Amino acid sequence: MIPVRGHEGQTIAVLGLGRSGRATAAALKAGGADVVAWDDGPSGREAAEAEGIELRDLTRASAYEGVSLLVTSPGIAHLYPAPHAAIQAAWEAGVPVDNDIGLFFRSFAAEGFEEFDTLPRVVAVTGSNGKSTTSALIHHILVENGRPAQLAGNIGRGVLDLDPPQDGEVVVLELSSYQTELARALTPDVAVLTNLSPDHLDRHAGPGGYFAAKRRLFAEGGPDRAVIGVDENEGRFLANQLATAAADDRVIAISSGRKLQGPGWNVFARKGFLSEWRKGRQVASVDLRDVPGLPGAHNHQNACAAWAVARSLGLGPRGIEAALRSYPGLPHRSQRVAEKDGVAFVNDSKATNVDSAAKALAAFPRIRWICGGLEKEGGLASLAPQLSHVAKAYVIGREAEAFALKLPGVEAEICGAMAVAVARAMEEAEPGDTVLLAPAAASFDQYDNFEKRGEDFVAEVRARL
């Protein structure tokens, strides 16, 4: 646990009592604060009471008497489409609002750091797609090369649930736009933007607000080094804003699909080969085509980001390459579930938006595509360039028929349920095909989350092998 400092003897309110909320309450208590908390759901309140957390209805203005700070969980809207009633009440009472990420960065440096030979460092990864894989891959590379490391944030453990850092340790955080937008402190040593595509637009009032939330990690934090995906205009803009000259190697540009030139520090992947260039010359190259845990151009972009971070932390090319080859992949993200009779089965349930689904489709030559769910804003039009890879679509979800109508030129079967889709895809698959779950939609019409959807796919596949 990372005890939260600076609030000794103060009363701090915590809104949202899921995993991160309860960890925040515990870390505040460990730092000497008094904690009151609230959750809209009775199960959250019951869990908190069982852990000895005092409950107080924070939607009431009177609840903030004597409260110094409100700490809110990332899933709770604090501005758009409308602020939660408890956050509005905090505003009215003049109580500052923060989240666990802000508390973490203010509390990370602990007594005893001055005795370490190498100060602990924080790597923070954000972006629309690939941030989970990139974060896990960075962590894997560090561990495989003998560097102490922990992984937390939007993946795995809550940030305040981490162990106090060791000498030379690297903490790798995956941060969503919900987390970066509100945190009052953002001071990573290395910050990463993988890419940007439309997502969570209701929470940020459009693409401009979404980019602004991501940009805070760099503009507010002032990292020693920034790794920026420059395949979109927003990334190119950000890299240009951060660099003071063309050769400024505090900014490492990464790309998937095009060669990056110039005197700066660049890492890019083309046709399956990763290349690192510094000061106008190539210093390393790796063939990624046969790396099993990183299939497709989108994963090659993740590899570029992880490579850039590892190199900025002083790791050598050979050690990084060996770790890339041993990376097992993450569940629900291009996860190879099984192979039988020349047919591969891949779970990419995390492909909850059109951009991530398009990248998954581009990774395989001939696909039996399981798709559908709760469609997000923006429609499905940008999938068109990759639909030529689809032999047939098997559409799930409550609005499966409407979803299928938005896939022009693709043979589509309305399946509704996952069990039906998997059964039909397996019946019709031929050697060389990939049965791919890449829904291009949220899961909430049928499942609690994308993990449950992916687990259902895996279970249905394995039950039929």
Residue 72 assigned ligand-binding role: no
The SS3 of residue 209 is helix
Residue 132 assigned ligand-binding role: yes
Residue 131 assigned ligand-binding role: yes
**Phi (first) and psi of residue 370, to 5 degrees:** -95, 120
Q: Which one-letter DSSP state was computed for residue 53?
A: P
Residue 233 assigned ligand-binding role: no
Helices (H), 227-363: 233-242, 296-312, 317-326, 354-362
Distance CA 256, CA 105 (A): 31
Which of these, 362, 339, 325, lies nearest to 137 by C-alpha position?
325
Answer for the pair 271, 255: CB distance below 8 angstroms, yes or no.
no
In this structure, is the dihedral angle defined by the CA atoms of residues 148, 152, 156 and 158, taken in order, positive or negative? positive
Residue 410 C-alpha from the chain's centroid: 30
Distance CA 220, CA 104 (A): 15
Residue 379 assigned ligand-binding role: no
Distance CA 7, CA 138 (A): 33
Residue 24 assigned ligand-binding role: no
Residue 271 assigned ligand-binding role: no
DSSP structure string for 383-396: GGGGGGGEEEEEEE
Q: 396: which residues sit within 8 A by CB, 6+ positions away?
A: 370, 371, 372, 373, 415, 416, 417, 418, 420, 421, 439, 446
Task: Give the pairing of strands 390-396 and 367-371.
Answer: parallel
Q: At what angle do helices 19-30 and 42-50 cross, to 10 degrees?
A: 30
In degrees, to the nearest 5, what angle opens at C-alpha 69 toward C-alphas 65 and 71?
A: 125
Q: How many residues would you count in the chain?
A: 465
Q: Which amino acid is at 394?
A: Y
Binding site membership: which residues? 127-133
Binding site membership for ATP: which residues? 127-133
